[in-house]
Chain A
């Protein structure tokens, strides 16, 4: 087995998806001035809800929708805490992460009566989409075709978000809220509404990320199956400076590292060691970050009082 063959890159693209989706969701929150540390919990909620939806409906589309809904509900809880009750978003986000970890573990027991992991061979995973023309091209076809729909949705979401931020009026106002909330309020912009909007869409994106995790490759749910992907998404978001295209780039980097860590295990590298790779990259990435990211001038803005 070669280190970097075609299947390595196809698996990398698959790995990217949940990170990219969640990072885009996080970027939306960051753009309205809320630093969402709860991505990990939101993905996990999505993954679990998707399995629940799948088990009870037997329909993959319904499963994905239930996944998104589950994540949105948790996201709204976070939004309530951060916006309505003005809790520190970092603390609220961490609380969300632990809450969801506990809830899903409990849910496994309560709903499926299992511990650790749930798997049912009757459950159907996400279909593989073969893209008509591209499919036929050698190499490129193998690389780009035959992924789950969510993979394509993730990249599409990045493009849509880019257009939203930089071409539409609502997107422009979203950016404004994140840059200077006091000023946005003084202009009479509907700041709270925009913030909740971002929170909901972030929930949907994280729900899709979770669905990709639990339904994309093997159709199963394990406790804490996100394994830090939410945090990697957070770093991807910061490294990409909350810019959709930047996030695609940084997510690619982390997806590649994820795939590489798995691939290296085939070269008799200890699993425990290779599993560190994405995190080492994360730390290195931090050196280049410094205080970048979606910076807000909040601290510099005095209220009009």
Chain B
């Protein structure tokens, strides 16, 4: 009996839907268990049951040899289980210290001893080599730093089993490296770690044991040393992954031309600084960069969501500058937005309504201002079939779809406009491998049809897979444009961090 945690035959039913079907996992002290699976495979449900946020329909949780029942997160925390949520649970106005100690504040007669708290946080941070500034306001911290706050919070609560839910989804490549190191270090210190993710290379690097879920069932439990990425992917998706369609060499005319685009910032530094970029027909131009270097603003400037200070944007012969979003979209622009909840969908609206956005104006779907729902529904059903979007019905609330499925719906909608030009911003953020394959395939297909695509992604692998040319953005400028065959992850990383080419070569040699 060496397991610190066993979950035996866990099942969870939502109505008729079986989200977890007799799933069993086990975990030893100091072990890293990765639970991988596509969106909706039941990873999150399983962890919510472990953390007391959901009650299992059947099954038992055995902790250190004793059967336990959690009625809420409070119980889980008491029993040494901590969870780092995918969407951070932070109080952005509170200091780092306050965020870490909350719930177990050091106190004297009911008064909050903030000084002692800061001390404790400092000690903890040094002990686990997780670097934070205890006095900073959490909202001012970078995403990576915020995640470190979350991990320290869990450690502070005395967790021996730490659940990390999709921890790398929001991190830059360097931050991911650091996180993986932290995970290994924590495991060496005797903490048991459950890592939930669908990024297989990370799993291979850090996990000891891997459990694969598909459609609520366990499809595989393997030791990391006995497996590889391909095998895991097959277990996850349930079929072999296909190779992307070959790209046809196309030498198209310039399509989207951005010239000297400038947007001033709050401070002296402009957000976009005299940026020029041309995208040709039949070409995918990828923008690589650490987020916050002007990528979002560039997209918003092109789509008309944000005012520009100077410069111009053309699409073919159409001048975009000063025109409305609707005008630009009519002229041949489609846009997969980076934040699907903010720009891409209305959470409270039905799936059908989210699909309808932008189409209601079109002749085919609009008869003297009445929407022709019937012909439209046919179109949406077509998308649902083609992209295998999992939704109970067309009337389901968009917000109830899993992130990946909603993303597929948005991608289908934007591709459905059949425009000459597409902006794909983070098209596969939070999307599982199967869905990613569909989306990538669709983008390549659009390119092969002779349309132009601007791809913005924080995933370097995605940029490298899809782009014909890669533009690296740093502090509002395009610092370099590399061709597909000359770009490597290392070169891009250095450029993204603001280094130049010469430094790049020296840096790679020193780190190698």
Contacts and interface: CB of A to CB of B under 8 A. Distances in A.
Interface of A: 167-173, 175-176, 179-180, 182-183, 185-189, 297, 301-305
A188 B74 contact: yes
**Which 10 residue pairs across A and B have the least CB separation, nearest first?**
A188-B74, A183-B89, A302-B87, A188-B73, A304-B85, A187-B103, A186-B89, A169-B105, A179-B91, A169-B112
A187 B53 CA distance: 11
B114 to A, nearest CB: 9
A179 B102 contact: no
Contacts of A170: 110
Nearest to A183: B89
Nearest to B400: A305
Interface stretch (B92-100, B298-306, B362-370, B435-443): B92-100
B194 to A, nearest CB: 15
A176 B112 CA distance: 14
Contacts of B83: 186, 304
A183 B139 CA distance: 14
Nearest to A188: B74
Interface string B126-167: 000000000000000000000000000000000000000100
A172 B98 contact: yes
Q: Which of A168, A175, A180, A186 has the most CB of B within 10 A?
A: A186
A172 B112 contact: yes
Nearest to B341: A302
A303 B403 CA distance: 13
By DSSP majority rule, is chain A's interface helix, strand, loop, or mixed? helix
B122 to A, nearest CB: 19
B107 A169 contact: yes
B93 A167 contact: no
Interface of B: 44, 48, 53, 72-77, 83, 85-87, 89-94, 98, 102-103, 105, 107, 110-112, 165, 341
Q: Which of B77, B85, B91 has the most CB of A within 10 A?
A: B91
Contacts of A179: 91-94
A180 B73 contact: no
Contacts of B105: 169, 172
Contacts of B90: 180, 183
Nearest to B342: A300
A19 B53 CA distance: 41
B403 to A, nearest CB: 10
Contacts of A182: 89
Nearest to A171: B112
Given A169-B112, A188-B103, A176 B87 contact: no
Contacts of B110: 168-170
A180 B75 CA distance: 21
A305 B110 CA distance: 34
Nearest to B47: A304
Q: Which of B77, B89, B110, B341 has the most CB of A within 10 A?
A: B89
A180 B341 CA distance: 19
Given A172-B98, A303-B87, A188 B112 contact: no
B73 A169 contact: no
Nearest to B110: A168
A304 B49 CA distance: 12
A178 to B, nearest CB: 10
11 contacts: A170-B110, A175-B94, A176-B91, A186-B53, A186-B89, A187-B73, A189-B102, A189-B103, A297-B93, A302-B341, A304-B44
A303 B91 CA distance: 14
A173 B72 CA distance: 18
A183 to B, nearest CB: 4
Nearest to B91: A179
A136 B89 CA distance: 55
Nearest to A304: B85
Nearest to A305: B44
A182 B83 CA distance: 14
Given A168-B110, A168-B111, A186 B74 contact: no
Contacts of B94: 175-176, 179
A162 B322 CA distance: 50
A304 B165 contact: yes
A189 B102 CA distance: 9
A185 B73 contact: yes
B347 to A, nearest CB: 10
B14 to A, nearest CB: 11
Contact of B111 (A169, A297, A302): A169
B19 to A, nearest CB: 11
Contacts of A304: 44, 48, 53, 83, 85-87, 89, 165
Contacts of A167: 111-112
A304 B45 CA distance: 10
Q: Which of A170, A183, A303 has the most CB of B within 10 A?
A: A183
A187 B102 contact: yes
A10 to B, nearest CB: 36
Contacts of A168: 110-112
Contacts of B76: 188
